[in-house]
Amino acid sequence: MSDRTPAPKKLYIKTYGCQMNVYDSERMAEALGGNGYVETKSPEDADMILLNTCHIREKAAEKVYSELGRMKALKIDKPDLKFGVTGCVAQAEGEEIMRRQPIVDLVVGPQSYHRLPAMDDAVQAGKKALDTDFPDDDKFDTLKRRSKAKRGPTAFLTVQEGCDKFCAFCVVPYTRGSEVSRPADRIIREAQELVETGVREITLLGQNVNAYHGHDGGLAGLIWALDKVDGLERIRFTTSHPNDMDDALIEAHGTCSKLMPYLHLPVQAGSDKILKAMNRKHTAESYIRVIERIRAARPDILLSGDFIVGFPGETDQDFEDTLSLIREVHYGQAYSFKYSTRPGTPAAEKPQLPEDVMNERLQRLQGLLREQQVQTQESMVGREVSVLFEKAGREAGQMIGKSEYLHAVFAEAPLDSIGKVRKVRITRSETNSLAGNLSKSPQF
């Protein structure tokens, strides 16, 4: 390097919350690459620290302020270190963040990441930069193309953002705005770019991904278009709303071999009274009918869900109804949360349930979900699954990958298995993973 070449500036991004934030963080790093930044894994080395935040529950937002409080000390040795807050807390709180934590130089909401390079210029010139607009220009259009650097075999690809459903507890329609779908041709191009850098499995992301309308055939149309991308072996999508599981998408689960047999379909609660109060616009019964149709198309599909306990007005009976729904559906895995009041959402006005009631219900619900997860994992023992290997494990010779059902699977396999799909006979179920042996026929 010549004396005059400036050393690259280092960027550290800490990502909170959902997979969409993981995707956004990658795109932000790529955008700031044009300003001379390279990513670092250590905040101590960084010239710029971005916290890409989540606002979905109260605790998620509070974590950001505690982290800023801790990281403030880094400025003692490095006074030029810059701090930025991005993501949904940035969108929801805007300028308030800089007031509460003056070390923050930059606040940018999820719709304006393409403006980050210009905002960085302003920050480097000693200014503060704030952008929480919902601009007309599409950030994905303006963001740079995907980096050509070699990647791991799996990637996220955001195809849809925002939500028009307005569930009574949820901040997403306010922080991410109304539903926007990216045009299919851009997504297909991005998928091809990802495949060229080593990606074999793509998870399509959207807050309401199955409401995707950037293709005439909806999400199913997009999936079939991606099915034709050479070198792409697996497609997944998340997160879906039960009301948007249309016939074509259900059918694709039975007929599209690249579409993996795993579906995250949140229901939140099993009582119709609570579902109505949540403004979910479906009943427990209609959810179960959708599940039946999906299972008819793809009998071995592994189902996942989200549950909220302690929504305002939830009685013991309402909670029992949620447990009954869980027993009827039988989930392979699921996420569950205590209801968390989000200012500005309709449910925030309602009287809250006592904390101990919520704690007790969450424990019971998680106990039941755990039982179902263990049963599902144990039912895999003796079965042959197909595993896309992602990386080496901790033990010598051991590799880790994901089965078609999204189970983490450990097996002894050669290093060159990374990026390849291999058949594995499952021998053991562990806490959150499966172990197995490579089958004799190495590839299919």
Q: Binding site: which residues?
A: 18, 54, 88, 163, 167, 170
Omega before 427 within 30 of 0, i.e. cis: no
Q: Write down the least CB distance from residue 265 to ligand SF4, Å.
A: 11
Shortest Cβ 336–ligand 5AD spacing (Å) = 8
Between the two ends of the chain, the Cα-to-Cα distance in Å is 47
Q: Does 207 bind ligand SF4 (CB under 6 A)?
A: yes
Residue 276 is encoded by which pair of tokens? Answer: 């109505």
Which tokens sit at 65? 């302020």
The residues, any chain, with a CB within 8 Å of residue 100's CB and separated by 6 or more, are 65
Q: Choose among 57, 118, 149, 93: nearest CA to 338.
A: 57
Q: 3-state class of 400 per DSSP?
A: strand
Residues 230-259 interacting with ligand SF4 (rule: CB under 6 A): 241
Residues 163, 210 contacting (CB under 8 angstroms): no
Give least dist CB 239 to ligand SF4, A. Answer: 7
Tokens of 26: 């990658």
User: Which of the listed partners (ligand 5AD, ligand SF4, none) does 81 bind, with a CB threshold of 5 to 8 Å by partner kind?
Assistant: none
Report the site for ligand 5AD in 44-63 (rule: CB under 6 A): 56-57
Residue 174, token pair as written in the block: 């306010």
- Binding-site residue ranges for [4Fe-4S] cluster: 18, 54, 88, 163, 167, 170
* Residue 123 CB, nearest approach to ligand SF4 (Å): 31
Site string for ligand SF4, 127-166 (x = CB under 6 A): ------------------------------------x-xx
At 348, list the tokens: 């925030």
Query: Residue 412's binding partner, choosing from ligand 5AD, ligand SF4, none, with beta-carbon cut-off 5 to 8 A by kind?
Result: none
Report yes or no: 399 and 393 within 8 Å, Cβ to Cβ: yes
Report the residue from 22, 46, 170, 209 that binds ligand SF4 according to the rule CB under 6 A: 170
Instruction: Please state the closest distance from residue 342 (CB atom) to ligand 5AD, in A.
Output: 5
* Binding span for ligand 5AD by CB under 6 A among 26-34, 135-143, 243-251, 332-340: 332-340
Indicate the helix (H) or strand (E) that contains 37.
Answer: strand 37-39
Q: How many residues interact with ligand SF4 (rule CB under 6 A)? A: 10
Question: Exposed e or buried b for every residue in 26-47, given b needs 16+ CB within 10 A?
Answer: bbbbbbbbebebebbeebeebb
Binding residues for ligand 5AD, rule: CB under 6 A, are 56-57, 169-170, 266, 268, 306, 308, 337, 339-340, 342
Binding residues for ligand SF4, rule: CB under 6 A, are 163, 165-167, 170, 172-173, 207-208, 241
